[in-house]
Amino acid sequence: MMWPAAVDRLLQWALEEDVGRGDITSEAVIPPHLRAAAVVRVKEAARVCGLPMAEAVFRMMDREVECQRLVQEGADVDGPSAVMRVEGPARAVLSAERTALNVLARLTGVATLTRRAVAELAGTRARLLDTRKTTPGWRWLEKYAVRVGGGLNHRYGLDHLVLIKDNHIAICGGVAQAVERARAAVGPAYRIEVEVETLAQLDEALAAGADMILLDNMSLPAMAAAVERTAGRVPLEASGGVTLERLRAIAETGVDYISMGALTHSAVSVDVGLDVEEVAP
């Protein structure tokens, strides 16, 4: 699996953060020649995500460590399950353990929450989007986990899409002025999405030629009215205060997309562990 070089740097940094000048406990009690085989287990129902990254951490610690996946990336497990076997120098296996498990636990948590959110939208036209509310440095990884969970990625960064928000509108003096300036600057190279808070702003954005409109913190009746007023001319995205409990009702207003920051900023890491099962000279 390929990923940006920044992900390798992040994983290497995370490993160095934990190991520091050396794992003094493992070096003190484990002979250097000893080898170990261990099993990584996810201890609860989850959508497994992050196995390639966990493997990379073990390999960064020692190229002699070998990893065997016991389930596929993106697999659903109903309860405690063995997901990976790790074999290699015992010191290396234990020294990399916590960093590898932290990555696996975090990404599995994001994927699992996303899977639950996607399930709430079944039977509706709405598709689930993530946001830029990610852990600093972890954006590629967390957005990857959203995809594994069945969601879609919104813009990766500020250079991927023109999204005119409330502060842009305030500085420009209105929706129409902001869209006009954006269109003049970027031409047809980028889509222009506009965040609106009222139906009056929606009308302005439509008249200005927005390619997509974000309905920010609107009530359910206002969202339904926006869908009717837009009549399919551009896609509509609902955002703001989106929770698992509200997802279905928002989707039933007829919006095309729902963006949910909680997928990444509020996902809880899944409980994972590693147990040594064999030791050999």
Q: Any catalytic annotation for residue 143?
A: no
Q: What residues contact residue 37 under an 8 Å CB cut-off, 6+ apart?
A: 85, 86, 87, 276, 277, 278, 279, 280
Catalytic option among 23, 87, 216, 256? 216
> What three-state secondary structure class fits 196?
strand
Catalytic annotation present for 43: no
Annotate 58-107 with DSSP letters as a single string.
HHHH-TT-EEEESS-TT-EESSSEEEEEEEEEHHHHHHHHHHHHHHHHHH
Is the Cα dihedral 62, 47, 274, 265 positive or negative? positive
Instruction: Pick the catalytic residue from 116, 132, 147, 165.
Output: 165
Q: Which of 97, 195, 237, 256 is catalytic?
A: 195
Active site residue 216: yes
Rounded distance between C-alpha atoms, residue 248 and residue 119, angstroms: 9
Helix (H, G, I), strand (E, B) or coil at 197: coil
Choose the catalytic residue: 98, 116, 246, 248. 98
Contact (Cβ atoms closer than 8 angstroms) between residue 195 and residue 237: no
Is 195 labeled as catalytic in the residue annotation?
yes
Q: Which of the residues 133, 147, 183, 191 is marked catalytic?
A: 133
Catalytic residue annotation: 98, 133, 165, 195, 216
